Amino acid sequence: MNDNKIQNWFMIDDLPFEEVGEGIKRKILAYNENLMAVQGFFEKGAVGTVHDHPHEQITYVIEGEFEIVIGNEKRIVKAGDSMYKQPHIPHGPVCLKAGKLLDIFTPHRADFLKK
């Protein structure tokens, strides 16, 4: 049975870019209340503010190279690498080579959705 309130299809060409910082934009991909996928696009040198939130997060590096801090640890990551970020742990990226990140959140990031 299909619930008409649930959106099942999120076509990339229909999804708008959102500017979220100098040299950083994102597209909100598929989501529901429990899960959300977000693709981040980074120009070389772009810096994501170190932040934390109550959501669990997995980040997958699609392309590029990033210096990422999670808690008190900093590492260089590249395409194919992935990270887990537990709730409330400070984290943030610096883009060393232009690239893309795929972030998966649970539950969804209501703060990312426009009202």
Task: Give tens-digit pLDDT for 80-113.
Answer: 999 999 999 999 999 999 999 999 999 999 999 9
Contacts 24+ apart (CB under 8 A), 9-18: 17/41
HSE at residue 50, side-chain half, CA atoms within 13 A, is 11
pTM of the prediction? 0.92
Q: What is the pLDDT of residue 5?
A: 84
Say if 4 falls within a structural domain: no
- The domain of 67 spans 24-109
**Are 50 and 69 in contact, with CB atoms under 8 Å apart?**
yes
Say if 77 falls within a structural domain: yes
Say if 18 falls within a structural domain: no
Say if 1 falls within a structural domain: no
Write the CATH number for 98: 2.60.120.10
Say if 31 falls within a structural domain: yes
**Cα 78 to Cα 13: distance, rounded to the nearest angstrom:** 26
Say if 90 falls within a structural domain: yes
* Better-predicted residue by pLDDT, 31 or 2: 31
Q: What is the pLDDT of residue 114?
A: 76
Q: What is the number of structural domains in the chain?
A: 1
